[in-house]
């Protein structure tokens, strides 16, 4: 027994050293193939990347980023809506690799988001919703997460009123979570503007006015309110009374003039005042039609002149940017 124990310890030591060497070599080879794969991935050579990520995982089966980007590679090769066997195999391979990565690191938000995006592309609403809501649960104070979930519901809403309501709730939750940030109000307004076939013009305008309370000298907000009021008067001309359209046109003109007062260089403010006179005032006041058309032409010329200046300024800025890059 006294002789056996030292021999056993010696064998264990040899085994341990040999195992460590194998682990070390394995990790080196895994990193070698992983780095090659990353190079292919960066250059969008996804098939070559897949081959190298799989080699990396043979040497190190716990290399989480190799699973993740193996999944991303298959995902980039997958074509949503194409039901061929080969294409669906790419989706399944992507799911397999990404889920393996998530098993190793279950709180990795990037992996969860990528899975949600893949399920979304596969039109698996339930699984995609589960992933996106999981991110929101993990990071309830990250404002971007609300936009991700709201945008997801919005894509599926179509004629589905319930999903439209869910999208609306997400945008409103974003505002409630950070009520001093005007960006949240902007997204809510855009949601109401995008409703089809008829936008919720007044709800949208209400949130633009809330933006204005937080940022009272922002010309773009005044411009947006002016556009909103014009669009309601113009698009609902067969529904609204003459008095309602006159009031909307006046609101639009006042907001656009305020935008010009704050920032006279923004061309499209002039373009919309032109439309207010041409498409609303001239029609509502037949006895003043010619005068309003002449006024519209005056604003249109201002728009053309200001737009020409804008384009010239953008051209010069682009030349300067290219000069700095080169």
**pLDDT bracket for residue 320 (50, 70, 90):** confident
pLDDT of amino acid 159: 74
pLDDT at 4: 39
* Confidence band, pLDDT 50/70/90 cuts, at residue 12: very low
pLDDT recorded at residue 62:
87
pLDDT above 70 covers a percentage of the chain that reads 91
pLDDT at 24: 61
46-68 per-position pLDDT tens digit: 999 999 999 999 999 989 899 99
Mean pLDDT, rounded, of the chain: 89
The 3 state secondary structure assigned to the chain is: CCCHHHHHHHHHHHHHHHHHHHHHHHHHHHHHHHHHHHHHHHCCCHHHHHHHHHHHHHHCCCCHHHHHHHHHHHHHHCCCCCCCHHHHHHHHHHHHHHHHHHHHCCCCHHHHHHHHHHHHHCCCHHHHHHHHHHHHHHCCCCHHHHHHHHHHHHHHHCCCHHHHHHHHHHHHHHHHHCCCCHHHHHHHHHHHHCCCCCCCHHHHHHHHHHHHHHCCCCHHHHHHHHHHHHHHHHHCCCCCCHHHHHHHHHHHHHHHHHHHHHCCCCHHHHHHHHHHHHHHHHHHCHHHHHHHHHHHHHHHHHHHHHHHHHHHHHHHHHHHHHHHHC
Q: Is the pLDDT at 148 greater than 60, yes or no?
A: yes
Q: For 198-255, what is each residue's pLDDT tens digit?
A: 999 999 999 999 999 999 999 999 999 999 999 999 999 999 999 999 999 999 999 9
């Amino acid at each position: 027994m006294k002789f056996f124990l030292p021999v056993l310890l010696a064998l264990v030591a040899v085994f341990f050293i040999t195992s460590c060497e194998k682990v070390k070599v394995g990790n080196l080879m895994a990193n070698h193939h992983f780095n090659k794969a990353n190079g292919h991935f960066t250059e969008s050579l996804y098939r070559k990347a897949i081959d190298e990520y799989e080699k990396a995982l043979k040497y190190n089966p716990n290399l989480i980023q190799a699973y993740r980007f193996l999944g991303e590679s298959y995902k980039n090769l997958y074509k949503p809506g194409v039901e061929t066997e080969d294409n669906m195999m790419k989706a399944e391979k992507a799911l397999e690799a990404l889920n393996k990565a998530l098993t190793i690191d279950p709180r990795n938000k990037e992996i969860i988001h990528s899975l949600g995006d893949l399920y979304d592309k596969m039109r698996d609403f339930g699984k995609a919703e589960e992933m996106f809501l999981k991110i929101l649960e993990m990071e309830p104070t990250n404002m971007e997460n609300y936009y991700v979930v709201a945008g997801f519901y919005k894509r599926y809403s179509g004629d589905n009123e319930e999903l439209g309501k869910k999208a609306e709730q997400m945008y409103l939750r974003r505002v409630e979570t950070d009520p001093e940030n005007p960006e949240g109000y902007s997204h809510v307004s855009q949601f109401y503007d995008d409703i089809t076939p008829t936008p919720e013009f007044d709800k949208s305008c209400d949130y633009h006015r809330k933006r204005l309370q937080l940022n009272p000298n922002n010309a773009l907000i005044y411009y947006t309110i002016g556009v909103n009021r014009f669009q309601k008067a113009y698009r609902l001309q067969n529904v609204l009374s003459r008095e309602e359209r006159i009031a909307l046109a006046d609101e639009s003109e006042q907001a656009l003039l305020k935008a010009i007062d704050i920032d006279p260089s923004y061309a499209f403010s002039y373009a919309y005042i032109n439309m207010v006179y041409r498409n609303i005032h001239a029609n509502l006041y037949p006895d003043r039609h010619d005068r309003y058309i002449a006024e519209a032409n005056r604003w249109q010329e201002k728009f053309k002149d200001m737009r020409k200046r804008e384009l010239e300024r953008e051209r010069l800025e682009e030349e300067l940017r290219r000069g700095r890059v080169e």
